[in-house]
Structures are given as C-alpha cells and as structure tokens.
C-alpha cells in the first residue's frame, strides 16, 4: 500500500471486487406512477449492451425492478443502486424528481454523459447519498446541478474528470452538512489554499487523493474540527505541515503520502493520540524522525519515507502496541536497530524498511511478532541471512533485495523459503550452487546475485522465476525437460545474462502457460527446435545475444499471442520469416546472417511498431508497402511518446524510456539498393528511420517534411544525391540527424531545428556548404551558386565518427510520473496502455507480474 503502483492497482482492482447486494424488493406494494415515469425517463438514456436491466419492463411493478428499492409502507421509491452493472449512455438527472429518493448509486459503470434539467426548473431533491464514481469517461464542466441536492451527506465523484470545474470547493460549501466527500482522481488543480474557512459542519471524511494540487496544505482544512479521515495523497502538495493540524482533535487517519511536503516531521505530531493511520511516505521531509511518534498509541499503520530524512529510527517506535504496518524509507537514514525497536510490536504484520539500517539482534532473538510480510530493501542485514527471520512461520512475502546478504544456510534456507509465496532476493551477493534445489514459491526473484552451477528445478507451483544476471552455467535442459508431477503454470521465466550453454531442448510441450521467456545474453548454441513454435500463450520471446544458428524458418503464426520477438545478435541464417502472428508488434532480427529480400508479407502485420533488420545480408529494394502498416502510417495519434518515467520514486532520474511504444524502422548495414520508395516518406508516425550503410540511391523527397514525428533519421553511408530538402527543417521533434558520407550537395537548409546539429551530421558530402559546415556557400561554389556541383572536394568530413553519434531521442518531451499516473487514474484507454506498457518492460523492471499477483492478494506490491 505504500508503493505508488500498488495504490493504483488496488484502485483498479477494487472495481472488480465489489460485491454489494442489490436491494431486495417488496412485491406487494405498487410503485408510484410519478416514480415509475422518472425511472423510465432515466432508462431511455441508458445503453445496455449486455442487457443488464431485463427486469425493468412495464410488465413488472417498478418496485421489483433491479436496483430499485421502495419504502414498504408508502410504496415510494427511496433507493436506486445500480453500481457495476455495465451500463453506458446517459445519466438523466430527472431521477432527482423522484420525491423520496434518498440513495443513488450509479458507480462503476460506463456512463459517458450527464444531462441535467435546466437550472431554472430546480426541484429540491431528498438525495443524501450520491455515488457516481468510476464512470471514467464522464466529465462535468460545472457542478451547478448539485445545487438541487440540499440534503446531500455523502458525495462520491471520484475518477470523474472535473478538470474544468475551478470552483469545486465553493460548490461543495453549498452543502455544509456533507459527512463524506470523495473527489479522488478528478484532475482537480485548485485546492484554494488561501481560502480561510469552509463551512462544513459535519464532515468526517475528505478524500482528495490523486489530483493535481500544487500548493501548501490549504488553510480551510484545519478549520473542519469534525474531520476524522483526510486523504490528500498523490498530489503535489508542498510546504510544511502546519501546527494548526493540532486543532483537528478527531483525526484518525491522515494520508499525505506521495506529495512534496517538506520541513521536518513535527515533534508535536505525537500529541495526536487518536491517530490510527499516518501516511507520510514519499515526501520531501528532512531532519530526523521524532521520537514522539512513539506516543501515538492508537497507531495501526505508519508510513514515513523521504530521501532527505537522516538520523536513525527512534526506539520509542517499539512501544506502538497496536501497530500492524511499519514502513520507513529514506536513502540517508542510518543507524542500528536492536530489540528495543521492536519490543512491544506484538501485533506487527508488515515490516517494510527501505533504508540502510544495520541490525544488532542476538542470534537467538525471538521477535514478539509473527509477520505476514517482510521487506528490507537496501538494508545492511548481511552477510548472513538473519536467523530471526526463520522464526516467522506465516510469511506471505519475503523481500530482501540489495541487502548485502552473501551467505545462506543452504538446506535450511531453501526449505524455509519453499513455503513463502513470494520471495525476492535480487541484488545480493549470494553465491550458492542450486543444481540440486527445487524451488517452490509462486514468485521468485534470484536475479543479480552470484549463483553458480546448473539451473535449479522448479515445482509445479512456480508462476514467476527470475534467475537473470547470475553465473548459472551448463545446459538448460535439466530445468526445461524435468517432468513435474502435474502441469506447470510457469508464466514468466527469465534466465538471461548467465553463462548457460548448449542447445535449446525440445521440451516445450511442458510449458503451455509461458507468456514471457527471456533467454538473452547466454552462450546457447545450435538450432531452435520446431516445437518452440508451439507455445500457445507466449507474448514476449527474447533469444538475443546467443550463438544460435540455423535457418530461422519457423512458422510462428501459431504463436497467436506473440507480440515481441528479439533474435538480435545470433547467427540465424536463411530469409526473414514470413509467417508471423498477426498481433506482432516488435520484431527485432538485427545482427544475424539473414539473406534475400525484405519480404512484403511484413506489411501485413497490422500491429507492427518496431522492425529491426539491421546488420544482416539483406539485399534488394525497400518494400513500398511499408506504408500499409497502420501504426507507422496512421494519422491518428493522440499522445506523443516517448515519455520518461521513474517507477520507484518521484523526482529522480529517468529509469525507463518507453521503447515499447516507439515506432522504429531500422534497416542499416545491409546490401539494400534502389531508391527509397516515396511511400516511406508518408510514414507520419515513424519516430526512428535508420537506413545507413546500404547502397541506396536517389534523392530525398521534400515529402520528408510530413514525417512529423521523426526523432532520429540516419541516411549515412549510402549514395544519395541532390539537395537536402528544406522541408527537413520542419521536423520539430528531430533530435538526431546523420546524412554523412553521401553525395548530397548544395546549401544545408536553414531552420531552427536543423541548426542544432553539428557538422558531423553532414560530413563526407563534398558538395555541401553552409552552416554548420565551415564552408561558405559563396566560396564553395565559387559563384554563390550551390547547385550540387562537387568542385569543393574537401575531405574535412572524413575524420568524423559517424557510427556512434546516437544522441538519444525525444529530448524535452518528458511527461513526469504524474503526467502518466494521473492519466492512468482517470482514463480507461490510458489504463490499458499502461498495463500494456508494463507488459513491455516486464523484462527490465519486473513490475507487471509482481503487481499482477500482489494485486490479487490485496497486499502491497514492491519492485526490485
């Protein structure tokens, strides 16, 4: 619950885990005519593709309609509860005309519009509970329609776009008797920090999480003395925690996590003795953690983290008898934890420390708690695996990545770990031989250690296994061809970056559930068996950087789910495979020995976004039909990727770039000949085009100016001639350009973007002149006439390095973490993109699967 993604996932998952019973109805009473009429008007706007309202028929009394509840003495409709009924279309607020309706829940549907009666015809409604949340495509430009709800007590509009409602707070103060107000992920921007007073007289719960508030904590908040739950997490709030917080004597839950709140964590916070949940993690607090936190005797959940925090963990925390979850993190925290830090924590269930604490615990220490989960990241718990952890018999997850563990008590350790569903030992220096070990956990990360020997065996329980970046050696056959008692369910296997050798075995029929297979960066040899083309579920297959050979002529069209294949850096020969599944998105076949022409069948791959055939022996022309590939040529494109994102903590360096969604075409280092087909210049979505080191000829069409998304263009070392079209200067995203070593001539076009490239981009074209080359056009052509003649045969360009000038792409288009996550919270299509994006980076960040399974268990996800 402390990691950003898991919050998101929990939010997403709650959509699936709602099981409230709909209201039962009473058949004896006849429905009021007016009420029935209003319900029928509402039904007219509802689109029910899946026919979820079959009972709403004229043959039945409306009190018996699904979701309708009538008062059993008056027969008047009092409640309408249609949450999560897959309804779409319009919400007609004629419903408010149902005189005695007091409860209206239309949450978790797909409604797209709201039609409100004209404001001149307001009838005051009795609705006191209104929940329209999680209708993600709904947006309101104003909240005036709320004015007719004079009795409103519970209002939930979470996940509805209120971006254009700047006066939302004023609208809410017109309902001073609100008890619960939830406006999470509404794209709100203005929290009215300077407003002095909001006249809520009964407010208990305020949820404004996941918005875009950039300001100090608002003044008015500290005037609501009734309040007991405040959730302002996942915003951009700044400034210190003001002392006026102390006036909120009823506060039980304060969630300020994932903001930019600074200052120190106040000592006086310890006076909030009734506080049960305190979330301060992922902020910018500095100073040390005050020992007064130990006075918060009701505390059940405590989260504090900030990379600016220093000092150690106060021993007073060991007094928090009710504490179930303790999360502390920060790169600069240090110090030694001993038994006093845990002395009274007998209810502790989750211990999460992401700081370089050391431990001074007796080897026979028996902790007062039985934990469900342990996460000790970046801690100094080594070199031996701590003995006290063996006393914990109910662990659901054990995560000790990057914690200086180098030695484990072999048999004891693997027997202990076999009963824990999720085990993460990444980034330690454990060196052990696992040849005879059988792994049993659902999720196991052993990557980035020093494991040696042969690959371990796995039981049929394992879903995810990551053994990458170790020194496993020998053949992969023992793992793959080891028959398990029952069908295995392995979904994700990463054995990349080891010293594995030998051939690829023919045992793939045991691996029917594999979706992700990473075997790159090993020493595998020989041919790939035909049976490998029979994975029914494989999505990502990476065999790159091995020494695999043979004719890669497999018919891959049976791998119906395959989206990503990477065979780069092997010795595969033969022609480019023509039979591929239709969903193929990324096809990386570079650096092999492939021969022949580029097959036009590739143009049938309607989802293709990346194609790399570079460094092969391909010959012939570039197929003009590339313009049939919709993701390259298509006109519609809503968001310009790439974005930069840091999945772990906000405000740090880029950790991931969205290569998965980049549209690239790389054909460099082949023997391609002929001219560039003019259609190529219509690939408006393409971001990278690399045709260098071929024998291509002809001129560059001025149509190149229409490739508006191009970020990197490399045409170097071919035989292109003619002028560089001036339209190239309109490619406003272009950040890498290499036209060197051709026969281009004339003046280099002027233009804002083009001027940012240095002379090396143009070197080796004797006929070119003008900035940035140190050759004046007048001088060069002798007569001010740059017509492409080559009389100025300077060899100045020869010395330029043209191969390794790749500068990176898309500078300046970074969308911060919030840009992404904020949108993800909001919009279904984005959410799908995000999930897809996680799929794509699974190999690098291990996010997706962990999130997937953690989410199902309902506990926090964590990332390696």
Binding site for ligand NAG (CB under 6 A): 41, 43, 45, 48, 51, 53-54, 56, 72, 90, 92, 94, 107-108, 115, 117-118, 121, 131, 133-134, 139, 141, 154, 156, 161, 163-164, 170, 173-174, 176, 180, 182, 196-197, 199, 205, 223, 225, 429, 431, 433, 435-436, 450, 452-453, 776, 778-779
Please give the angle made by the CA atoms of 611, 616 and 618, to the nearest 5 degrees: 85
Rounded to whole angstroms, the Cα distance separating 518 from 541 reads: 6
Which is closer to ligand NAG, CB of 174 or CB of 684? 174
Angstrom distances, CA of residue 356 to CA of 6, 32, 248: 23, 68, 35
CB of 38 to ligand NAG, least distance (A): 7
Q: Residue 124 CA to chain centroid, in angstroms? A: 44
What angle separates helix 4-14 from helix 847-857, to the nearest 10 degrees? Answer: 50
- Least spacing, CB of residue 225 vs ligand NAG, in Å: 5
Angle between helices 828-845 and 817-826 (to 10 degrees): 130
Question: In angstroms, what is the minimal distance from the CB of 324 to ligand NAG?
Answer: 23
Q: Which is nearer to ligand NAG, 164 or 671 (CB)?
A: 164
> How far is 704 from 696, CA to CA, in rounded Å?
16
Shortest distance in whole angstroms from residue 452 CB to ligand NAG: 6
Cβ distance to ligand NAG smaller for residue 113 or 332: 113
776 contacts: CB under 8 Å, gap ≥ 6: 769, 770
Measured from the CB of residue 80, what is the shortest distance to ligand NAG in angstroms?
13
Residue 541 Cβ, how far from ligand NAG at the closest point, in Å? 29
- Our CB check for ligand NAG shows the closer of 174 and 625 to be 174
Please report how close the Cβ of residue 37 comes to ligand NAG at its closest, in angstroms: 9
Write down the least CB distance from residue 107 to ligand NAG, Å.
4
What pairs with residue 665 in β-bridges?
A: 611, 689
Nearer to ligand NAG, 196 or 483 (CB): 196
What does residue 153 show for φ and ψ, rounded to 5 degrees? -120, -35
Between 173 and 525, CB nearer to ligand NAG: 173
Cis peptide upstream of residue 772 (ω within 30 degrees of 0): yes
Least distance from ligand NAG to the Cβ atom of residue 781, Å = 12
Q: Are strands 350-354 and 325-329 parallel, antiparallel or unpaired?
A: parallel
Q: How far is the CB of 223 from ligand NAG (least distance, A)?
A: 4
Please identify, using beta-carbon distances, which residue of 163 and 347 lies nearer to ligand NAG: 163
What is the pairing mode between strands 443-445 and 438-439?
A: unpaired
Does residue 589 contact residue 612 with C-beta atoms inside 8 Å?
yes
How far, CA to CA in Å, does 40 sit from each of 36, 59, 92, 98, 696?
A: 6, 13, 10, 11, 68
To the nearest whole angstrom, how small is the minimum distance from the Cβ of residue 70 to ligand NAG? 10
* Nearer Cβ to ligand NAG (41/284): 41
Smallest separation, CB 92 to ligand NAG (Å): 4
Nearer to ligand NAG, 271 or 534 (CB): 271
346 or 436: CB nearest ligand NAG: 436
What whole-number distance in Å separates Cα of residue 687 and Cα of residue 640?
10
Three-state SS at 201: coil
Closer residue to ligand NAG (CB): 87 or 371: 87
C-beta of 137 vs 396, nearer to ligand NAG: 137
Question: Which of residues 166 and 547 has its CB atom nearest to ligand NAG in the complex?
Answer: 166
Q: Compute the distance between CA of residue 128 and CA of residue 771 in angstroms, rounded to an integer.
A: 71
Find the distance separating the first CA and the last CA of the chain, reported in whole Å: 16
With the CA atoms of 695, 698, 699 and 705 taken in that order, what torsion angle do they form, in degrees rounded to the nearest 10? Answer: -70
151 token code pair: 């009795």
How many residues appear in the chain? Answer: 864
Integer Cα distance of 757 and 737 in angstroms: 7
Q: Name the burial class of residue 483, with classes exposed (0-12), middle (13-18) and buried (19+) by CB atoms within 10 angstroms of its CB.
A: exposed
Token representation of residue 611 = 């194609």
Torsion of the alpha carbons at 89, 93, 96 and 101, rounded to the nearest 10: 10
Are residues 565 and 611 in contact, defined by beta-carbon separation less than 8 angstroms? no
Minimum CB distance to ligand NAG smaller for 241 or for 432 = 432
Rounded CA gap, 650 and 652, in Å? 6
CB of 18 to ligand NAG, least distance (A): 7
Q: How far is the CB of 605 from ligand NAG (least distance, A)?
A: 34
Q: How far is the CB of 262 from ligand NAG (least distance, A)?
A: 26
Question: Tokens 């979330």, residue?
Answer: 279
Tell me which DSSP letter residue 84 carries: T
User: Cα(233)–Cα(301) distance, rounded to whole angstroms?
Assistant: 15
CA distance 546 to 597: 24
Residue 194 or 436: which CB sits closer to ligand NAG?
436
Quote the least distance from Cβ 640 to ligand NAG, whole Å: 18
Other CB atoms closer than 10 Å to residue 751's CB: what's the count? 16
The DSSP code sequence of 710-761 is --EEE--SSEEEEPPPGGGGG-TT--EEE--SSEEEEEPPP-TTGGGS-GGG
CB 662 within 8 A of CB 586: no
Shortest Å, Cβ 97 to ligand NAG: 7
Alpha carbons 345 and 799: distance in angstroms, whole number: 69
CB closer to ligand NAG out of 199 and 274: 199
CB of residue 128 vs ligand NAG: minimum separation in angstroms? 11
Residue with tokens 């006849």: 30
Rank residues 207 and 612 by Cβ distance to ligand NAG and give the closer one: 207
Q: Which is nearer to ligand NAG, 118 or 752 (CB)?
A: 118
Rg (CA), the chain: 32
Cα separations in angstroms, 257 against 7, 184, 278, 280, 309 = 11, 14, 9, 4, 15
């Amino acid at each position: 619950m402390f990691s950003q993604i898991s919050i998101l996932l929990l939010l997403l998952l709650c959509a699936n885990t709602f099981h409230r019973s709909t209201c039962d109805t009473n058949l004896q009473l006849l429905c009021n005519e007016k009420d029935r009429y209003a319900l029928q008007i509402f039904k007219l706007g509802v689109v029910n593709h899946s026919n979820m309202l079959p009972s709403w028929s004229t043959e039945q009394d409306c009190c018996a309609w699904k979701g309708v509840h009538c008062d059993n003495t008056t027969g008047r409709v009092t409640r309408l509860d249609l949450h999560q009924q897959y309804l779409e279309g319009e919400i007609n607020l004629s419903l408010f005309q149902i005189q005695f309706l007091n409860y209206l829940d239309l949450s978790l549907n797909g409604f797209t519009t709201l039609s409100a009666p004209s404001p001149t015809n307001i009838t005051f409604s009795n609705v006191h509970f209104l929940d329209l949340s999680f209708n993600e495509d709904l947006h309101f430009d104003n909240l005036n329609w709320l004015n007719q709800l004079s009795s409103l007590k519970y209002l939930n509009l979470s996940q509805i776009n209120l971006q254009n409602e700047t006066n939302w707070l004023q609208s809410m103060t017109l309902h001073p008797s609100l008890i619960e107000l939830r406006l999470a992920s509404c794209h709100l921007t203005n929290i009215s920090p300077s407003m002095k007073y909001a006249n809520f007289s009964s407010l208990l719960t305020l949820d404004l999480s996941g918005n875009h508030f950039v300001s100090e904590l608002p003044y008015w908040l500290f005037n609501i003395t009734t309040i007991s739950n405040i959730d302002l997490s996942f915003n951009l709030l700044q400034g210190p925690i003001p002392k006026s917080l102390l006036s909120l004597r009823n506060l039980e839950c304060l969630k300020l996590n994932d903001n930019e709140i600074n200052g120190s964590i106040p000592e006086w916070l310890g006076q909030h003795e009734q506080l049960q949940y305190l979330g301060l993690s992922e902020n910018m607090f500095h100073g040390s953690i005050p020992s007064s936190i130990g006075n918060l005797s009701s505390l059940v959940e405590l989260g504090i983290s900030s990379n600016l925090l220093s000092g150690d963990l106060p021993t007073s925390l060991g007094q928090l008898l009710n504490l179930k979850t303790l999360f502390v993190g920060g790169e600069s925290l240090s110090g030694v934890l001993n038994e006093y830090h845990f002395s009274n924590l007998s209810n502790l269930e989750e211990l999460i420390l992401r700081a370089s604490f050391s431990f001074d615990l007796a080897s026979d220490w028996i902790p007062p708690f039985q934990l469900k989960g342990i996460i000790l990241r970046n801690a100094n718990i080594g070199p031996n695996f701590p003995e006290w952890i063996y006393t914990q018999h109910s662990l659901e997850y054990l995560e000790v990545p990057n914690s200086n563990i180098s030695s484990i008590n072999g048999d004891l350790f693997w027997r202990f770990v076999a009963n824990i569903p999720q085990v993460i030992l990444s980034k330690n220096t454990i060196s052990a031989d696992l040849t005879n070990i059988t792994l049993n956990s659902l999720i196991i990360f052993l990557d980035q250690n020093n494991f040696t020997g042969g690959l371990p065996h796995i039981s049929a329980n394992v879903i995810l296994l990551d053994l990458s970046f170790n020194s496993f050696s020998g053949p992969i056959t023992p793992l793959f061809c080891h028959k398990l008692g029952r069908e295995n369910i392995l979904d994700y296997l990463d054995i990349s970056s080891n010293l594995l050798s030998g051939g690829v075995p023919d045992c793939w029929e045991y691996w029917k559930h594999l979706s992700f297979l990473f075997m790159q960066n090993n020493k595998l040899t020989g041919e790939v068996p035909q049976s490998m083309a029979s994975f029914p579920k494989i999505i990502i297959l990476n065999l790159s950087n091995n020494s695999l050979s043979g004719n890669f002529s497999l018919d891959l069209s049976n791998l119906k789910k395959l989206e990503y294949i990477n065979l780069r850096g092997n010795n595969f020969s033969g022609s480019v495979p023509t039979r591929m599944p239709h969903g193929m998105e990324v096809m990386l076949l570079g650096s092999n020995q492939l021969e022949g022409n580029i097959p036009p069948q590739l143009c049938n791959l309607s989802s293709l976004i990346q194609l790399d055939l570079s460094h092969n022996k391909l010959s012939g022309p570039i197929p003009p039909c590339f313009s049939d590939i919709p993701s390259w040529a298509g006109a519609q494109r809503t968001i310009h990727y790439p974005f930069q994102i840091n999945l772990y903590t906000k405000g740090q360096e880029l950790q991931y770039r969205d290569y998965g969604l980049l549209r690239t075409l790389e054909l460099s280092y082949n023997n391609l000949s002929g001219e560039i087909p003019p259609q190529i210049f219509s690939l408006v979505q393409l971001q990278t085009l690399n045709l260098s080191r071929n024998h291509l000829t002809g001129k560059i069409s001025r149509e190149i100016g229409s490739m508006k998304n191009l970020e990197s263009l490399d045409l170097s070392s071919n035989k292109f001639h003619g002028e560089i079209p001036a339209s190239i200067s309109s490619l406003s995203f272009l950040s890498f350009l290499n036209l060197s070593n051709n026969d281009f001539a004339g003046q280099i076009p002027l233009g804002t973007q083009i001027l940012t490239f240095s002379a090396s981009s143009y070197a080796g074209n004797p006929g070119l002149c003008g900035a940035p080359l140190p050759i004046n056009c007048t001088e060069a052509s002798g007569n001010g006439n740059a017509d492409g003649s080559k009389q100025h045969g300077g060899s100045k360009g020869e010395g330029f390095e043209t191969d390794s000038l790749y500068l990176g792409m898309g500078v300046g288009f970074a969308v911060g973490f919030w840009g992404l996550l904020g949108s993800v919270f909001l919009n279904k299509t984005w959410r799908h993109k995000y999930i897809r994006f996680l799929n794509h980076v699974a190999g690098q960040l291990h996010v997706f699967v962990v999130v997937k399974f953690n989410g199902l268990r309902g506990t926090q996800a964590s990332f390696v």
